Structure 1
Amino acid sequence: MQQVKKGDTVKVHYHGKLEDGSTFDSSAGREPLEFEVGGGMVIPGFDNGVTGMAIGEKKTIHIPADEAYGPKQDELIMEFPKDRFPQDMTPEVGMQLAMNNGAGQQLPVTITEVKEDVVVLDANHPLAGKDLIFDLELVAIDGGSPLIIMP
């Protein structure tokens, strides 16, 4: 029975939950997630979780924050002057925006607090600092490219 190893391309159905049981993502009703194991396409804990699985196997994995989106970083939380927002925009907690970092890159941020003169923005990934739980089902394995190719 073939088992997943680094370099394989796999297809996985998943249901991602937080420790309180709330769902943050799922492949239900969509195509399974396809990625190369060890290729840096998914969080490290997800890569590790599918390694060794066989087609049709189902399991639940628990991924600590350090193997997911990392700890929440205080330096990614900033205050932004309210008067710098567009005049026709009313900032509200939970609103997601894109900021320009000055080098032409867009940075997704979430409003976490609205004060009198400033708005508190959080550029951490929404799942940073959280342990994640995934219910997995391995649908397919495509072996990696052979290291030696015969002529």
Structure 2
Amino acid sequence: MRELSVGPGTTVTLHFSLALTDGELVDSNFDSDPAEFTVGDGKLLKGFEQALLGLREGAEEEFVIGPEGGFGAHNPNNVQVLDRSEFEANIELEEGLMLSFADAQNTELPGVVVDFNDDEVTVDFNHPLAGRDIVFKVAILEIKPATVH
């Protein structure tokens, strides 16, 4: 086991899980291949990366990451009411349905239907985990010096 700890200039191999505070599992790789990231490469949200700083190989920890360090606050301005005619007539709308939209730059933007009637569809363009505390469990498998490509 190396004496390195998670920090700048390191590549980390880990198992992780993300869950809501009510226990609902959002994502996990504990039953599959581990993930690898280099500190500062942008693969992890800042709050998740910050929680790992200083950990060593073999560490198993659990953190609660608030919205500010995770998926951001829920922004009411990201909830839009669209005219029903903007949707294909054959689409079967239901609350919770995730749809793909194009923004002004023609970039794909996911949105979740939160309400609808014959005239209007209310779509939430916030990240589905925005405004939520996330329980982040990790098991650090390996820490090694980062290689420059």
Residue in 2 aligned with 1:113?
115
The partner residue of 1:133 within 122, 125, 135 is 135
Distance 2:36 2:125 in 1: 27
Distance 1:17 1:41 in 2: 18
CA contact (8 A) 1:18 1:131 kept: yes
Residue in 2 aligned with 1:149?
none
The sequence identity of aligned pairs, in percent, is 27
1:1-80 matches, within 5 Å, as: 1-80=3-82
Query: What is the root-mean-square deviation in Å for CA atoms of aligned residues?
Result: 1.4
Task: Tell me the amino acid that sits aligned with residue 21 of structure 2.
Answer: E
Following superposition, which runs of at least 4 residues in structure 1 exceed 6 angstroms of deviation? none
Task: Tell me the amino acid that sits aligned with residue 134 of structure 1.
Answer: F
Distance 2:17 2:106 in 1: 34
Deviation at 1:145, TM superposition (A): 4.3
Deviation at 1:116, TM superposition (A): 3.4
Task: Tell me the amino acid that sits aligned with residue 76 of structure 2.
Answer: D
Report the more deviating stretch, 31-40 or 124-133. Answer: 31-40
How many residue pairs match? The answer is: 146
Distance 2:39 2:64 in 1: 18
CA contact (8 A) 2:96 2:114 kept: yes
Unaligned runs of 5+ in 1: 147-151
